[in-house]
A = this chain, B = another copy of it.
Amino acid sequence: MRIVVVGGVAAGMSAASRAQRFSADAQVVVFERGGFVSYGACGLPYVIGGEVGAFSDLVARTPAQMRARGIRVRTRHEVTDVDARAGTVTVLDRAAGRTTTEPYDRLLLATGVSPVRPDWAHTDLAGVHVLRDIPDGEALDASVRGAKRACIVGGGYIGLELAEALRARGLSVVLLEKGPEVAGRMLDRPLQAQVREELERGGVDVRCGVTVQGLTGRGHVTGLQTDRGLVRADVVIVAVGVTPNVELARAAGVRLGKTGAVAVNARQETNVPGVYSAGDNTESLHRVTRRRVHIPLGLPANRMGRVAGVNMAGGEARFPGVVGTGIFRTFGLGVARTGLTQAEAEALHLNAVSVDVTSTDHAGYHRSSRPIHVRLTGERGSGRLLGAQLIGHNHLSVKRVDVVAALLGERATAQDLFDADLAYAPPFSGVWDVLLVAADRLQRTL
């Protein structure tokens, strides 16, 4: 049994490890286009910001360590084509410039996503960056040294995390967002404003409703032309979203879903026999809506990879799906969500209602207590929970989103959440944890 994995980061490496562990007989080969495998891409902003010592710290396992576990890892090897009928892939050794054909019994597409580059971002100007992999991070880090003015384009996870990181590096930061507010795809509108205000407190010049039209500079970027005038910058980060890498899937005859990512079943099988897909390039089942979604995040990617690895090696595993959980920190603020926002629920024509509670994360009288805001969303009639959004001024306080995330997987009701016997001591929460306060209020409105 020869298992070929295309892509050696989260999903790919999880799959390779699992397959190898499940079946010692299987020959597992990983082709990775880049120079690094098995690293935590989510940590890149924190290396930039100085909270992680070095980019190499993000590497969980080196190719040599993987080889010691019986997995063949070929970095700088790019799979350029798939012949699903023949059961082969075409591999370009980028160092040698040589192409070979490699057979497979099972093929995993773990090709991830690429940052979206608007037309204006296709440039040769130095100082213009995206942040997806370690070389991106190293390039950005080099640009930041000696730079004074950064402009981040895009107010999503990466943009918001980088805003803090670049302020920590002493740069002035302008953040441009095309939409009316930051964190627009993550939170309902009232909560978005809270995030923007925190950025502003942190010294970020946030400008929403701004469209970038072009770049200025010769050799090195000096600014951005926008519909609201010129923004000077000697470092520009383009963080306007990602798009799944599906070229190989197309080549293999693999069906894509409506989201544009690869369609799979719960075993991570595509429509092409022997071809699996996992990770950021792949759709997943949303357990609240039962629809297929494309949510490229670390945990689902790793989880899909494990499932694919077991199944490719002859085992039986199923991906349970996601509930749309996400979390980030920007400056002092923790921001988390799970399930559906009110806006998302309404777009799906669910009879949704949300309640907002502002309280403290710990007992109000305890000196460690900080404000926390919870928006909890439920469905009228059924009483079931649909989602939660949290903003906490001690960032760690929003990790309690996990309670709702876990209950969403059980299709629990607001009453179930209210009945939960949550932990209480003054340095941890109020006697009624803010989640319970929100659940109480929600179940009385449902």
Residues of A within 8 A of B (CB): 10, 40, 42-43, 46, 51-53, 57-58, 161, 287, 297-300, 302, 320-329, 334, 336, 338, 363, 365-368, 394-403, 405-410, 412, 416-417, 419-429, 431-433, 435
Contact = CB atoms under 8 A, between A and B. Distances in A.
A47 to B, nearest CB: 9
Contacts of A324: 421
As for how many copies of this chain the complex holds, the number is 2
Contacts of A300: 421
Contacts of A298: 424, 431
A145 to B, nearest CB: 20
- The 10 A-B residue pairs whose C-beta atoms are closest, nearest first, are A327-B423, A320-B419, A406-B420, A57-B365, A323-B421, A298-B431, A325-B421, A402-B422, A410-B410, A299-B424
Most buried by B among A325, A326, A334, A399: A399
Nearest to A396: B396
A423 B338 contact: yes
Given A324-B421, A327-B424, 8 more contacts: A43-B365, A52-B366, A302-B432, A325-B421, A325-B423, A399-B399, A401-B423, A406-B416
B365 A58 contact: yes
Contacts of A399: 399-400, 423, 428-429
Given A365-B43, A426-B42, A405 B431 contact: no
A401 B397 CA distance: 13
Contacts of A406: 403, 406-407, 412, 416-417, 420, 422
8 contacts: A43-B365, A46-B427, A52-B426, A322-B421, A324-B421, A336-B423, A396-B396, A398-B423
Contact of A405 (B287, B328, B420): B420
A127 to B, nearest CB: 26
A51 B427 contact: yes
A396 B370 CA distance: 13
